[in-house]
Each structure stands twice: as structure tokens, then as C-alpha cells.
Structure 1
Amino acid sequence: MQDALTILRRLRRPRLLIRAARAGLAEYRRDVHLRRTLGGEAPQRCGPALIRLIEIETDLNDARLRKCASYSVARHVEVLVAMMGEAQLLRPAQ
């Protein structure tokens, strides 16, 4: 199984989504945003949180590609911001 950071490096998403997420990254606060993004209590460690975020983002991207009416660009950017924030926190630990 690949680690979370390797999965992130291999992700290919539209440039506009990534740019929007990078713009929001400066305001990312784990204690506030992660709980809202995951819809409940945030895991203490970055690794498990990042794995959950990757699963959520994969579902969102699938909905985007299928052009589902329920797809939310704002939600997708929110999850990408959280993924980037958690990855930044995880990298120094490794």
C-alpha cells in the first residue's frame, strides 16, 4: 500500500482547483477546518486524517468527472485545502 504523501504527489487535478486550494492554504487552521471538513471529530494524528481526506476527495473527483448535479466545487476546494494543510504538517514529522 502506498503512503499518503505518495498518493498526493500522484494526484492530477485541474489547475484551477489546485490554485484555489493553494490560495486557501494560508488560512488553514487544523482545529477549526479539519473538524468541519471531516464532519465530526478530527483525528489527533495527521496520517489518519490525510487518508480520510484522500478518500473524500476521490469521491468528490469522481462526482466531478461524472458531472453529478450534487457536486460542489466549494466542497472540493475545502477538502483539497485540508489535504494540503495536513500534508504540510505530516512532512516535517517524517
Structure 2
Amino acid sequence: MQDILSMLSAIHRPRLLMRAARFGAEDYRREVHLPRLLGYGMLPRYGAALIQLMEMETALNAQRKDDDAAYSLTRHIDVLIAIVAEARVMRTAQV
């Protein structure tokens, strides 16, 4: 768990993206939002979900930096919202 959280703290994204993600994380509901991002079926544990979300976010960030026409800002923010919210739950569970 600590490795995942330290990996998250090493991520640096534009301030506006992170502000939007933190704001959106307030309304995040795992049962509703996570299946839309990761696919429907049984929800993964928090650590596994975070790893999948981080992989998705890395690909989206690469698209953003490359000015790829397929880049979706909305999708990127949705993934960042899920990462922020899942990380909050994981940190809370540690305490």
C-alpha cells in the first residue's frame, strides 16, 4: 500500500487538472464511477483499482503532452478524480 501512495505523491500534473480532480473527488461514488472507467463486473480492491487507474492516467498524460487528437480532457479528469478519491479512501484505511 505504501508503495502505491508514494508513487501517487511522485505524480506532478498541471495545477488546473489537479484542482478539478480534487473538486470532483468530493462527489465520487466508487460503485457508480469506477465501473465506467475500468469496466463493469466485480469492483477491484482499492490498491488494484489505483494501479489500473494510474496506468490509464499515464497513457492519457502522454497523449496530452503529445497533443494527440485522440486525447480527451474529460476522460483525463475523470481518471484523476477516481485516483484522488481512491487514494483518500486508502489513506483513511491505513490510519
Q: What is the TM-score when the length of structure 2 is the normalising length?
A: 0.91
SS in structure 2 of the partner of residue 27 of structure 1: coil
Structure 1 unaligned residues grouped into runs of 5+: none
Q: Following the alignment from structure 2 to structure 1, what is the Cα–Cα distance between the partners of residues 7 and 79?
A: 15
Per the alignment, in what secondary structure is the counterpart of residue 28 of structure 2?
Answer: coil
Question: Structure 1 vs Structure 2: percent identity of aligned residues?
Answer: 53
Structure 1 residue 78 corresponds to structure 2 residue 71: no
1:10-34 Cα offsets, whole Å, 9 max, x none, are 1000011001111111110000001
- Paired with 2:10 and 2:91, the residues of 1 have a C-alpha distance of 16
CA RMSD of the aligned region, Å?
1.1
The structure 1 segments of at least 4 consecutive aligned residues displaced by more than 4 Å after TM superposition are: none
C-alpha distance in 2 between matches for 1:92 and 1:25: 15
**Structure 2, unaligned stretches of length 5 or more?**
none
The number of aligned residues is: 92
User: 1:1-94, aligned counterparts within 5 Å?
Assistant: 3-41=3-41, 42-43=43-44, 45-94=45-94
